[in-house]
Amino acid sequence: MELQKLSPAELCELLVREKIRRFFLVWDEEAGRVQVSHPQLEPLARLLEEDRRDFDRHEGVFVQVAPETGVLQGAFIHRTCRGQSAGGMRYWRYDTVEAYLRDGLRLARGMTHKNALAGLWWGGGKGVMARGTGLGTSDPAIRRRIYEEYGEFITSLHGVYVTAEDVGTSVEDMAAVFSRTRFTTCIPPALGGSGNPSVPTARGVVRGMEAALQHLGRGTLAGKTVAVQGLGHVGEPLVGFLAEKGVRKVIGSDIDPGRRDLAQRFPGLDLEIRIVERGDNSVLAVPADVVAPCATGGILNPRTIPTLQASIVCGAANNQLEDPERDDSLLEERGILYLPDFLVNRMGIVNCADEQYGYIEEDPSIERHLGDTWDNSIFNLSLKVLEEARRSGRTPARMALDLAEERSRELHPLWGHRGAAIIGSLVRTGWASVLQK
């Protein structure tokens, strides 16, 4: 069986049999190929090299089978020119090793773009643990140990990747990570962290919507109708902020029947809540001015795009386009203005970015991202991207991507390309030669 077709659990079994506890796939710029720590894993290096979609000369992929819990734990490092790679850690189920690797690669690259556009001196990275490998999480003590082991793994990477919270991981889990490494953010406030970033994320999405409306000469959010897919950590405060802006109506959908109660929380708002089945994307097609995907990715595709009635799509969900190039073009052909996620959902990572610099009430380093005065605020950068896109004939998503690529190659003003040096040192000093017990 080809390595990439194995399930993550089967890969773990194979690694244990071969006494491989850790492995890496590292881009060798001089040789123009992916260097792999163990010859048995060569096919994974070839998979990356031959891929044109998700692999983008990522500086390094580091993976371990956690020594005690047996969970497959990885750190995906895309580009570290601007500084240490940073991004959340996802605990998710994957059918195959290939799906696991692709998700990590894609998400890490997205973080490079988001961090660069936000003006953070951070590179792009992502952590991924595969559900269904090693011990399960039903016992809280085991769950804690899984995250402690992830923290120990991050420590072993000497700071080339700084982790954070993401899907499947809670702030409490981050406390367990923090107990084993300094290279994490998004820890609970009780430990000096910034806590839940979803409220500023929702505020940032509102600023993106306002820029899009202004660009189209359609005024403000007052009196508009907005459809929100997903009424979770971001979607719920988003509804509140939209109400404050005087929207006429919000149509929200969620798969969780518990979300029906939300209507009581916004008594003055015309809020229609639809509880739907997983995979039901009909909320995207309602008559509205703006659609805000705030649930899962991949929901803009050839099946949904033709049904859209709104002229603006602006939401928090990561990777909304199922196929970035194809679906961006489809949206453009329909005259729908799409503001990419990595341009407007930066506040999660921004909230976590400066934890070590302390806190100030209504923190100016946070507020400037949400205001009108800083030229790199979400509102101003979105306007700039939209105007330059119009001038150059590119789509806003293409324009934002080109800008992000350019910025992501700027070197950290103090530390230069230190991440690449850390990776080189990990490779030279035998990071992967720790044996499986």
226 lies in the site for ligand NAI, by CB under 6 A: no
Which of 61, 295 has the CB closer to ligand NAI?
295
Which of 37, 185 has the CB closer to ligand NAI?
185
Which of 69, 115 has the CB closer to ligand NAI?
115
Sheet-wide strand order for 337-338: 271-275, 249-254, 225-229, 290-293, 312-313, 337-338
Give yes or no: 126 in active site. yes
Would you say 108 and 163 are in contact if contact means Cβ atoms under 8 Å apart? no
- Indicate which single residue of 195, 197, 208, 419 sits in contact with ligand NAI (rule: CB under 6 A): 197
Residue of minimal CB distance from ligand NAI? Answer: 232
- Indicate which single residue of 255, 336, 370, 434 sits in contact with ligand NAI (rule: CB under 6 A): 255
Dihedral angle computed from the Cα positions of residues 189, 203, 366 and 354, in that order, rounded to the nearest 10 degrees: 50
400 lies in the site for ligand NAI, by CB under 6 A: no
How far from 342 is each of 71, 115, 213, 385, CA to CA, in Å?
29, 8, 19, 12
Scan residues 328-347 and list those touching ligand NAI (CB under 6 A): 345
- Indicate which single residue of 167, 216, 360, 421 sits in contact with ligand NAI (rule: CB under 6 A): 167
- Indicate which single residue of 6, 263, 276, 370 sits in contact with ligand NAI (rule: CB under 6 A): 276
Would you say 159 and 84 are in contact if contact means Cβ atoms under 8 Å apart? yes
Q: Looking at this protein, which amino acid is placed at residue 44? A: L
- Indicate which single residue of 133, 169, 184, 229 sits in contact with ligand NAI (rule: CB under 6 A): 229
296 lies in the site for ligand NAI, by CB under 6 A: yes
- Indicate which single residue of 348, 369, 397, 432 sits in contact with ligand NAI (rule: CB under 6 A): 348
Which of 51, 363 has the CB closer to ligand NAI?
363
Query: Which residues are CB-neighbours of 387 under 8 A, at least 6 positions away?
Result: 215
304 lies in the site for ligand NAI, by CB under 6 A: no
59 lies in the site for ligand NAI, by CB under 6 A: no
18-26, 227-235, 300-308, 367-375 -> range binding ligand NAI (CB under 6 A): 227-235
d(CA 332, CA 395): 7
d(CA 356, CA 116): 19
d(CA 166, CA 160): 18
DSSP state of 371: S
**How many Å separate Cα 415 from the centre of its chain?**
24
- Indicate which single residue of 73, 137, 318, 408 sits in contact with ligand NAI (rule: CB under 6 A): 318
Which of 133, 253 has the CB closer to ligand NAI?
253
253 lies in the site for ligand NAI, by CB under 6 A: yes
Scan residues 230-249 and list those touching ligand NAI (CB under 6 A): 230-235
Q: Which of 171, 150, 294, 312 is nearest to 232 (CA)?
A: 294
Least Cβ distance, residue 371 to ligand NAI (angstroms): 19
Query: Which residues are CB-neighbours of 122 under 8 A, at least 6 positions away?
Result: 82, 83, 84, 85, 86, 115, 162, 349, 353
Q: Looking at this protein, which amino acid is placed at residue 174? A: M
18-26, 38-46, 194-202, 243-251 -> range binding ligand NAI (CB under 6 A): 194-202
254 lies in the site for ligand NAI, by CB under 6 A: yes
d(CA 195, CA 187): 6
Backbone angles phi and psi of 383, in degrees to 5? -60, -45
Which of 294, 378 has the CB closer to ligand NAI?
294
Burial of 367 (0-12, 13-18, 19+ CB in 10 A): middle
d(CA 343, CA 379): 10
Least Cβ distance, residue 124 to ligand NAI (angstroms): 14
Out of 114, 126, 224, 249, the active site residue is 126
419 lies in the site for ligand NAI, by CB under 6 A: no
294 lies in the site for ligand NAI, by CB under 6 A: yes
d(CA 99, CA 101): 6
The residues binding ligand NAI (CB under 6 A) are: 167, 197-198, 201, 229-235, 253-256, 276, 278, 294-296, 316-318, 345, 348
| Active site (catalytic) residues | 126
